[in-house]
Chain A
């Protein structure tokens, strides 16, 4: 039943794409046990020596229109990290939650222009720095808390936005210079259960 639902949702997300604005992001994330994780991912997290002894890692399986992946999430030095691997345990990217003010000024100016153009109203709710690179480069970046040489750095931004009569959360991915790479409407869970 879970697979049928997943296929239906991914299918819906796929066929409902048309323009950049109409792209939809569906994501399901659930906790998994450490013993179900690909060995490479486990070795990377626990033997790369960027984790402090007290840091607790939580493992999740993520299902989205892009496929299935494994994520290790942890909080260290007041920063939230999310490290994504494919199903074989190959490193995909590292995401690090940051404050809006940590985006370089020129990049942020360009991002603001794009947000102004694409939305009638918008408000930034969450910003993540995304690093893509080899395992060694990424480990170096985590240790230094900035992108090491050879690492591709992007910014993933979640906003509350209004386009015409549509009011939703959106996720946008910008490159280091502020060029828009992807824009998706986030398929939100219903709030009826909490409100009524």
Chain B
């Protein structure tokens, strides 16, 4: 639905990127209230261009690699606050980012929602300091029962809004519908499509279509 909504605003000058983003996510519980999450996120580009056919580039390239670590504290049974750091390696540059977030889950009878409010600050040697404020709604639907249990499939989808403050102000929207499998050891594998609508609602927007492969490991 969101993809269709965003795609409805396509113009011929809009640019796009198509590729894949394999993500490895490690989560370890330190004690009953603290947990640590580490993430490795790579981005591979298969094709770029404009929707009017200009600047077509089909050369494969490895765009970037992110490594992230986040420490989370449980405030209540369904609420967590977290803070973390990310380092990005992209085109010979090293980019640093700090993150702060609060999240809460909302279990209903056969669906579970998660709300995440996040702020991050980025220092890129080639660009001005960037601040982003974000809200993400996630929903998880078990395909076989009332909750996702080991050895079961599930559907998960997230929808996120980002307000970017750099030299100016930009909107960004993201959505990632995925099909997931929770293994008996409680590790999870997800396969889906991530869509990013950058410079949203502007005369020339950019669109990212990424095949998403997520692997979540519980330590």
Contact = CB atoms under 8 A, between A and B. Distances in A.
A80 interface: yes
Contacts, number: 83
A195 B77 contact: no
A165 interface: yes
Interface stretch (A28-36, A87-95, A102-110, A129-137): A28-36
Interface string A163-196: 0011111000000000000000000111111111
Contacts of A162: 76
Contact of A189 (B75, B138, B148, B180): B148
B145 A28 contact: yes
A194 to B, nearest CB: 4
B65 interface: no
Contact of A193 (B70, B116, B216): B216
A29 B145 contact: yes
Contact of A190 (B27, B32, B78, B190): B27
A81 to B, nearest CB: 12
Nearest to B149: A28
Contacts of A165: 32-33
Nearest to B158: A194
Contacts of B39: 196
B145 A194 contact: no
Contact of B184 (A5, A169, A190, A192): A5
B180 A193 contact: yes
A60 interface: yes
Contacts of A160: 76-78
A1 interface: yes
Contacts of B105: 191, 194-195
A192 B216 contact: yes
Interface in B60-117: 70, 72, 74-78, 80, 103, 105, 109, 112, 114, 116
A191 B140 CA distance: 10
Contacts of B112: 189, 191, 194
Contacts of A166: 32
B25 interface: yes
Given A28-B149, A166-B32, A195 B116 contact: yes
B146 interface: yes
Contact of A30 (B103, B116, B145, B180): B145
Given A191-B114, A194-B105, A5 B150 contact: yes
A134 B190 CA distance: 46
B55 to A, nearest CB: 35
A194 B109 contact: no
A43 to B, nearest CB: 24
Interface string B183-210: 0101010100000000000000000000
B147 interface: yes
B89 to A, nearest CB: 20
A167 B138 CA distance: 22
A2 interface: yes
Contacts of A196: 25, 27, 37, 39, 70
Enumerate the 9 nearest inter-chain pairs by beta-carbon distance, A residue then B residue, closest first.
A194-B114, A30-B145, A192-B27, A160-B77, A194-B138, A28-B149, A195-B103, A191-B105, A30-B144
Given A166-B32, A195-B114, A196-B39, 13 more contacts: A5-B184, A30-B144, A60-B146, A160-B76, A160-B77, A162-B76, A165-B33, A189-B147, A191-B103, A191-B114, A192-B35, A194-B138, A194-B140
14 contacts: A1-B151, A2-B184, A5-B150, A30-B152, A160-B76, A160-B77, A160-B78, A166-B32, A189-B149, A192-B27, A192-B35, A192-B216, A194-B112, A196-B70
Interface of B: 25, 27, 32-33, 35, 37, 39, 70, 72, 74-78, 80, 103, 105, 109, 112, 114, 116, 138, 140, 144-152, 156, 180, 184, 186, 188, 190, 216, 218
